[in-house]
Homo-oligomer: A and B are copies of this chain.
Amino acid sequence: MTHANEVILSREIHAKPVASDFAVQPVSLADINDGEVLVRIIYLSLDPYVGSALRGRHMTPQPQPGDVVPGYGLGQVIASKADGFAVGDYVAGETGWRDHAIVPALAMRKVDPTAAPLSTQIGATGMPGLTAYASMNHLAAVQPGDHVLVSSAAGPVGGTCGQIARILGATNVVGIAGSDEKCALVRDEYGFDACINYKNADWKEQLAAVLPQGINVYHDNVGGELLDTALLNLADYGRVVLCGLASQYHADERPAGPNPGIFIVKRAKVMGLVVYDFLDEQQDVTAKIGEWIAEGKLHFVEDRVTGLDQAPVLFEKLMLGENIGKAIVAVAAESV
């Protein structure tokens, strides 16, 4: 194996990325050094935060033209110079958009292919699932009787959040999503009690109508008007998990937030969530959600393309909010 392919940025990104901002190019693979593994990538995860990272708005420096697009991948080790990593092991981590990646083994986590369907380990049972579990179980501590609202409910974090809330005993689980098609998925596949399309003119009235007793728990992936509206409908002592800010990933300015008075009047408890804090639980949570999937208690939906060269098109769709379910690129077969 000496040749591979990667997706690079063809220009500097100053607006919402589109497919033509990317180019696929062949590369020669270098030899691997001590501590490294060569990974045959099977699945790539496409994630909204990468859109803001490409514009220099994430925790990392802005990628430049010619740089490989950052991204999370899952694959199989096909060569190893790292203790504890053998050929055939499944691993996941930051690989970039490639079909083969040479990476420091310590930057990868091992994946148990029997714990859950392999592709879900970058989705509903992977980091998005861990995010949802940390939010609903650890931070919000959802209990029987809770009325729960989740934004970006069709996505892998939001959809898993609502289903975990249900498993934890929530009385009423409501989603917000950006199209009627997404809302149908949220209700029919994920089993939420209701889903509001925030692009409808009367969505705020619809939301209040399906949460007449107020919101006990809100998982926020969006910020902006969705957060403001959730706070207005928050029940006293409501818990709010702030997890994502999709509304401002591509805004030109960082908008202000809600006046703190609403937090006081509602006696709200607001918690910021960064999934990296929970990585040492990933293996356990993958197994737990994997069991729920096996038992039919939790469902996942993928928007999947096949082939590394299809990544830019699906990413543009993700940026436009037109994907339905977890955006995933099947780069190669699960086993060879």
Q: Which of A26-80 contact B (CB under 8 A)?
A: none
**Is A272 touching B277 in the complex (CB atoms < 8 A)?**
no
* A266 beta carbon closer than 8 Å to chain B: yes
**Is A264 touching B245 in the complex (CB atoms < 8 A)?**
yes
* A270 beta carbon closer than 8 Å to chain B: yes
Residues 244-279 of chain A, each 1 if its beta carbon lies under 8 Å from chain B, else 0? 110010000011111111011111111111100100
Identify the closest chain B residue to A223 (Cβ).
B260
* A220 beta carbon closer than 8 Å to chain B: yes
**Is A273 touching B277 in the complex (CB atoms < 8 A)?**
no
For A, the interface residue count at a CB cutoff of 8 angstroms equals: 29
* A242 beta carbon closer than 8 Å to chain B: yes
* A243 beta carbon closer than 8 Å to chain B: yes
**Is A257 touching B254 in the complex (CB atoms < 8 A)?**
no
**Is A259 touching B260 in the complex (CB atoms < 8 A)?**
no
With beta carbons under 8 angstroms apart, the residue of B220, B248, B261, B273 that contacts A254 is B261
* A227 beta carbon closer than 8 Å to chain B: yes
**Is A269 touching B269 in the complex (CB atoms < 8 A)?**
yes
With beta carbons under 8 angstroms apart, the residue of B258, B260, B261, B274 that contacts A264 is B274
**Is B266 touching A269 in the complex (CB atoms < 8 A)?**
no
With beta carbons under 8 angstroms apart, the residue of B258, B269, B273 that contacts A271 is B269
Give complex CA distance A269, B330 in Å.
39
> A residues engaging B (CB < 8 A)?
220, 223, 227, 242-245, 248, 254-261, 263-274, 277
